[in-house]
Structure 1
């Protein structure tokens, strides 16, 4: 995926497009590389050409583990990265490369320039932040209060794409349960025609959100 294919890029004014193209830097990183830690101040916003990044919260207390907020894939943007870069405040989560990445890093000064000089970018960014915050708040609520099957459904929904590349073991680790429990729940969902399962991937079938996540709309990034 090319930078100009990103939704935000398509809406920019000509002078803003030129500015981003001139300042963007090509970057790459291998699996397991940390892009930033909780508390870091980011120095640019990452736009992926390929690969995947996991964004998660972790605790310093032994045994508390971590909570995965979401994964970033080409075409998507990271709320934590965006807010830290533009406001120059500490990141509220940690990001690690899940699948080797290549992409572009647009520096802080360029992104701040866009906020000040591009009405189109400001409008897009407000909508993007509101969308992501709503999804994260929903995830946190579901992780705390809902039954495991509902927690699985909501985690799938928050990933925001039709096909999710993950394993039952990874979901079990994220949600704090066993692989067997996750496998049973996913098999039941497959029987209902809600998902399709394969080795290392889960496909959300048409009607997934309206059937199992009441009063929610799937938002296209």
Structure 2
């Protein structure tokens, strides 16, 4: 993914001049809860998972960021100089363009395609958050778990994914024991195959 695939040439030039391209390894945290957003991430390769963490330590996955996307919560917090309400962790090794928050705010008035990019992100993330609310409120654990595994299969472009039961439990905000129990039942139903730290979707 290159910036010219998303933005017009004038904006691409400004992003390259003002931004800072960095490589992050899987597992690195790039945005922490309650921290001020000084730089807004635009994913060029790899992926990021955006998480909400509660005071008791429980987490729930909100959505993934893939190439060509940014975090709307980070954009809004950065432009308003407010602390982050989310945590962003690199899912796959990623190349990320870090854009100064003050530039992001300036470009809203200067570049229509940047404004359109923000509105498109807002709409997409709002729909995804509605899915999360619907999932937590109305769906059973097995449905939520299968949906998450399918998301990861699409993300990694492989039917076999490397993930622990604890990681899945954390992302869904449920216990590891419940996760393992449901996964074993799904294996009995021939929906997937379990092996050490790996799951293959059938």
Do they superpose with TM above 0.5?
yes
Q: CA deviation at 1:55?
A: 1.6
Tell me which of 172, 178, 183 is aligned to 2:169. Answer: 172
1:17 aligns with 2:12: yes
Matched with 2:182 is: 181
Deviates more, 1:163-172 or 1:49-58: 163-172
Paired positions, count = 193
- Indicate how the Cα distance of structure 1 residues 109 and 187 shifts in structure 2: closer, same or farther if over 3 A, else same: farther
- Indicate how the Cα distance of structure 1 residues 123 and 189 shifts in structure 2: closer, same or farther if over 3 A, else same: farther
Tell me which of 35, 42, 47 is aligned to 1:40. Answer: 35
CA distance in 1, matches of 2:154, 2:79: 26
1:83-122 matched pairs, under 5 angstroms: 83-122=76-115
CA distance in 1, matches of 2:136, 2:150: 13
Matched with 1:3 is: 3
CA distance in 2, matches of 1:187, 1:127: 41
* Deviation sequence 1:93-121 (CA, Å, 0-9, x none): 11123333332111112211221111222
- Indicate how the Cα distance of structure 1 residues 87 and 114 shifts in structure 2: closer, same or farther if over 3 A, else same: same
- Indicate how the Cα distance of structure 1 residues 186 and 136 shifts in structure 2: closer, same or farther if over 3 A, else same: farther
> Secondary structure in 2 aligned to 1:91?
coil
- Indicate how the Cα distance of structure 1 residues 18 and 201 shifts in structure 2: closer, same or farther if over 3 A, else same: farther
CA distance in 2, matches of 1:53, 1:67: 14
Q: CA deviation at 1:147?
A: 1.3
1:124 aligns with 2:117: yes
1:64-79 matched pairs, under 5 angstroms: 65-79=58-72
Q: CA deviation at 1:2?
A: 2.8
TM-score computed with the length of structure 1 as normaliser? 0.70
- Contact in 2 for aligned 1:45/1:82 (Cα 8 Å): yes
CA distance in 1, matches of 2:104, 2:81: 11
Q: CA deviation at 1:201?
A: 6.6
CA distance in 2, matches of 1:200, 1:142: 24
* Deviation sequence 1:165-212 (CA, Å, 0-9, x none): 553623234231322413533775848xxxx999857679xxxxxxxx
* Deviation sequence 1:132-167 (CA, Å, 0-9, x none): 012112212311332123323554577794637553
Consecutive unaligned residues of structure 1, counting only runs of 5 or more, are: 205-221
Cα RMSD, aligned residues only:
3.3
CA distance in 2, matches of 1:130, 1:156: 24
- Indicate how the Cα distance of structure 1 residues 98 and 157 shifts in structure 2: closer, same or farther if over 3 A, else same: closer
